[in-house]
Structure 1
Amino acid sequence: MSTSIPRPGEHLPGAAPGADPDAVHVEVDRLLARVQEEGAVGDPAAAIGRQAELLEQAHDVLVQALSTVDKI
């Protein structure tokens, strides 16, 4: 007798669970490189807002990856 056991998060709507660690690393590294570029070019005071946006995007990538893994 074989009964399947539901995995945590299977009942939640959304994409299939799974996060590619390499893809997460690549995306976060790309965003962090852009943060450094923004700081190196032009007026530092003007770059702060753009750097904050890029850091927020990197944060969102990490949060999404953790959320995906948490559903597994």
Structure 2
Amino acid sequence: MSTSIPRPGQHLPGSHPGVDPARIHVEVDELLTRIRESGHAADPAAVIAGQAELFEQAHEVLVRALSTVDKI
């Protein structure tokens, strides 16, 4: 006999947000494009700092997607 195991957050009311892989790809692709285009500043330290910020944003997009999938 098999019983289902409740998933984390399953007991919470409301709809479960879905993950749209196409939207995730678009968001990350846009950020990666901005990273590639950001390498033209005169100050290398500013370039690296700007690129690090964009990579952090792309990371957050992916973490949110994984977190959402984990809750479904």
> Please, what TM-score do these two structures have when normalized by structure 2?
0.78
Shift of 1:16: 2.4
Alignment gaps of 5+ in structure 1: none
Residue 16 in structure 1 maps to residue 16 in structure 2: yes
Sequence identity (%): 63
Shift of 1:17: 2.8
User: Is the contact made by 1:19 and 1:69 (CA closer than 8 Å) also made in structure 2?
Assistant: yes
Moved over 4 A (4+): 12-15
Change (3 A) 1:42 1:62: same
Give the alignment's Cα RMSD to 1 decimal: 2.3
Change (3 A) 1:11 1:23: same
Alignment gaps of 5+ in structure 2: none
Shift of 1:61: 0.2
Partners of 1:55 and 1:42 lie apart in 2 by 17
**For 1:52-67, what aligned pairs fall within 5 Å after superposition?**
52-67=52-67
Does 54-63 or 7-16 show the bigger shift?
7-16
> Please, what TM-score do these two structures have when normalized by structure 1?
0.78
Residue 48 in structure 1 maps to residue 42 in structure 2: no
Partners of 1:21 and 1:65 lie apart in 2 by 9
Give the aligned length.
67
